[in-house]
Amino acid sequence: MPYRTLKDFNLRSKRVILRVDYNVPMKEGKITDYTRITESLPTIRYILKQQPRQLILMSHLGRPDGKVVESMSLRPTALKLGSLLRKKVHLTKDCLLPVSKTEKIVMLENLRFHKEEEANDERFGKRLASFADIYVDDAFGAAHRGHASNDAITRFLPGCVGFLMEKEISYLSKALEPERPYVTIMGGAKGDKLILLEALAEKADKVLFGGVLANTILLAAGKNIGASIYDDTTRQFAAKILRGERDKIVLPVDVVVASKFKEDAEHKIVDVDSVPEHWLILDMGPKTLELYKRELSKAKTVTWNGPVGVFEFKSFAAGTKELGNFLAKSKITTIIGGGDSAAAIVKFGLKEKMTHVSTGGGASLEFLCGKKLPAIKALEDNYQRFKV
């Protein structure tokens, strides 16, 4: 089913409400990575150029669980956006308060300060819709969650995708029918991605594992992983993957282990059969890196979701950095699945050398698994509901 894009609307003198994903990393009240803000700028600048009566932005930040948490205020993002646009961005005290009609650009305070946002409450969505004439969704990073600001709101006013959302759908759609051989790298700190792996394992020719996911599958395969982090709830599912798609799965053969989870911890390289008790696996070893490069060299399409080691610590960044450098120098179509993977690629200065770096971690993974994302489904329904 189709959905509308920004260029399907005449925005002149209209009130436009734009859902962005400004769930940015923060440390001591300061933004540590502006990527999601800068990626939203083409949509924002286009809207402003069309001379709307007002632009209203909305986003969530963190998980305040329906309570006002000062450290999760969107104030730093409003200030940063204002500096990038060289325009004032007025932040409301509450996302449900009446919006001043005198301000050209308004940002609603954190949507998740109200539990109704994550509950996809219809009245909450209707209240947000009452502020505007047209709805634009440019928050691909939140598209896999059916919340009031990207689902319920679409029942009350005509909507469309922004440029970032449109670009994400376009690039990620190419991976749904990839040029083969197709290899996917699965890493990261969250083991619960395994639940989505069955569909991806069927699609891919090879699946290369790192991070907590690799630990979980190694454990399911009967390996001793010492004190390494793994996801117990998906351990059984890992065993199922091993039985069903074992010929596609590539696991580490050697790893970098540390005595503790610290940047300056004692560390060494060991075979996967020799992980010491009470030590933690924090990166892949050099033999694994070469094995993975050989597999990747056969590929024509690669998707990568999650770093393969603790890239934030210099001693345990080699696996992620070297795989990134290898792909950056290749002619392989490479799609980075957002979240920490995107942060690592940006940190190592490789973003411009990849085919596409997604702004959505979980959203990109679910999309690549062939799942219909709730926010996209809502805009498809919106296309049928409103004729413009």
> Stretch 266-291: mean pLDDT, rounded?
97
Task: Tell me if 207 sits within 8 A of 201, measured CB to CB.
Answer: yes
Flag the least confident range among 134-138, 167-171, 279-283, 339-343: 339-343
Residue 195 scores a pLDDT above 70: no
Q: Look over the chain and give the mean of its residue pLDDT values, rounded to a whole number.
A: 93
Task: Tell me if 148 sits within 8 A of 128, measured CB to CB.
Answer: yes
Instruction: Report the pLDDT value the prediction gives residue 134, as an integer from 0 to 100.
Output: 98
Rounded to 5°, angle at Cα 164 from 160 and 170: 85
Residue 339 appears among annotated catalytic residues: yes
Residue 65 scores a pLDDT above 70: yes
Structure tokens at 69: 């948490």
Chain Cα centroid distance, residue 61: 14
Reported as a pLDDT band with limits 50, 70 and 90, residue 194 is low
Reported as a pLDDT band with limits 50, 70 and 90, residue 1 is low
Instruction: Report the pLDDT value the prediction gives residue 371, as an integer from 0 to 100.
Output: 87
Residue 246 appears among annotated catalytic residues: no
**Rounded to an integer, what distance in angstroms lies between the CA atom of residue 41 and that of residue 46?**
8
Helix/strand/coil for 21:
coil
Instruction: Report the pLDDT value the prediction gives residue 192, as an integer from 0 to 100.
Output: 61
pLDDT digits (tens, 9 = 90+) for 70-109: 999 999 999 999 999 999 999 999 999 999 989 999 999 9
Percent of the chain with pLDDT over 70: 97
Our separate counts of H helices and E strands in the chain read: 14, 17
Give residue for tokens 């004190």.
227
Query: Which residue of the set 190, 248, 321, 347 is catalytic?
Result: 190
Flag the least confident range among 127-136, 171-180, 348-357: 171-180
Helix/strand/coil for 24:
coil
Reported as a pLDDT band with limits 50, 70 and 90, residue 116 is very high
For the whole model, what pTM was predicted?
Answer: 0.86
Query: Which residue of the set 36, 127, 193, 206 is catalytic?
Result: 36
Instruction: Report the pLDDT value the prediction gives residue 27, as an integer from 0 to 100.
Output: 87
Per-position DSSP letters for 307-362, written without gaps between them? -SS-TTSGGG-HHHHHHHHHHHHS-SEEEE-SHHHHHHHHHTT-GGGSSEE-S-HH
- Dihedral, CA of residue 127, residue 163, residue 1 and residue 356, to nearest 10: -130
| CA-to-CA separations, 16 to 78, 88, 99, 134, 143, in angstroms, rounded | 17, 17, 12, 5, 19
**Rounded to an integer, what distance in angstroms lies between the CA atom of residue 70 and that of residue 291?**
47
Chain Cα centroid distance, residue 381: 24
Reported as a pLDDT band with limits 50, 70 and 90, residue 144 is very high
Flag the least confident range among 51-60, 245-254, 267-276, 293-302: 245-254
Percent of the chain with pLDDT over 90: 78
Task: Tell me if 90 sits within 8 A of 100, measured CB to CB.
Answer: yes
Per-position DSSP letters for 55-70, written without gaps between them? EEEE---S--TTS--G
Domains of the chain, CATH where assigned: 6-165+372-385 (3.40.50.1260), 177-357 (3.40.50.1260)
Query: Which residue of the set 339, 347, 360, 361 is catalytic?
Result: 339
